[in-house]
Amino acid sequence: MGKRFDAGAQVGVVIVGAGPAGLVLGNLLLARGIECVILERRDREAVEGRARAGFLAAHSVRLLTEHGLGAGLLARGRPHGTCLFRSEQGEFTLGYGKLGQGEVHTVYPQQELARDLLAEYLRRGGEIRFGAEVEEISEGRVRVRGAEDVAGRYVAGCDGHRGVGRGALAAHGIRTARWDHGVTWLAVLVEAPPSLAAVGYALHDRGFAGHMARTETVTRYYLQCPRGTDPAQWDEDRIWTELATRLRTDEFGPLHQGPVLEKTVVDLRSDVLDTPGTGRLWLAGDAAGLISPSAAKGANLAVLQAERLAEAFTEALTRGDETDLARYASYCLPRVWRAHEFSHWMSGLLHGPSTDDPEARYGRALQYARLDSLRTSRAHQDFFAENYTGI
């Protein structure tokens, strides 16, 4: 699809994976005159239809807009600058868009962003091969099951934390730092308008519950659940009953209900590679580091990394200068770790112990002390706002 390269020819960059990182990278490379091809194991319908995160930070919006990739989000995205917290202490709303750096999020479902990016990539003449299952990456050569190998001067692994790109980099002895937050969410997508005017975080003895608007007719909810939970155990009645309990609808009003479109289980885990690449293989997005969804950082880190990698590849391919590639890790990792620190902090704020022993009671008391500090301290609020919307 798009421009076809001859079998056996070497392109500038082979991109493995058509998520946000791969599609942004492909578009930026084409804009710089760099030939590339994207290999994606799924079909086009799956790429354009997978419902994922929908919160774009101001930096991501600026970057996409500056590079001609923001028409859809500017037309259909919705600015969002408030979040609210509910607990046994009541409810308070935080207008983070007027705190910190004064930046807001843009709510734009990731599947819509993927459609925009893919359409623009093809309009620019890019090639993407759907159903291309990559088996191995070695020295710029990508082996595809049942097809000719694809060769590139460089390979960009943008195929997620379980992808072949990360596996190939591990062969170079790259170490991984990882953390299991010990928390699991039931992620539920419902066909119903948002019930709250803001992103909602509910702290409850039964576990965390979250409310995130996606569109005017679709809402994402999260319910903390035990590790190993089978989504099939949660029918619609159970989901709505538990959401009503944890979001305290008896106190704050009912939720808009509708059919459940999707339910999956997400274990909150994080990891970061010591370096996101070496030689001819470089990673971006979840392939370079998996971050828990508790602070909506994943897609935004992917966009930032894709921009930096596009600049580095361009310098290497047009001028033979690999300085920016050598600096890719030193540029990205401080920002990645700052995002992880805030995500880790958010996880501690939202998830309290589930038992009733003395240590658990101590932990829950600390959880509510953090929440009270966020409610009453302007310095704490500015810190939250700056990190919530930033990278």
Residues with a catalytic annotation lie at 80, 201, 293, 297, 388
- φ, ψ at 198 (rounded to 5°): -145, 170
Helices (H) then strands (E): counts for the chain: 12, 19
Q: Dump strand ranges (E) for the chain.
A: 10-16, 36-40, 55-56, 78-80, 83-87, 90-94, 105-107, 127-130, 134-138, 141-144, 150-157, 176-190, 199-202, 209-213, 219-225, 260-273, 277-278, 281-283, 289-290
Cβ-proximal residues to 173 (8 Å cutoff; 6+ apart), any chain: none
SS3 298: helix
Written as one letter, the residue type at 79 is P
What CA–CA distance (Å, rounded) separates 103 from 390?
8
Cβ-proximal residues to 150 (8 Å cutoff; 6+ apart), any chain: 11, 14, 37, 39, 141, 142, 144
Residue tagged 């995205």 (tokens): 77
Token pair of 186 as six digits: 């039931």
**How is 223-278 classified by DSSP, letter by letter?**
EEE-TT--GGG--HHHHHHHHHHHTTHHHH-PPPP--EEEEEEEEEEEEEESSSEE
Residue 62 pairs in a beta bridge with none
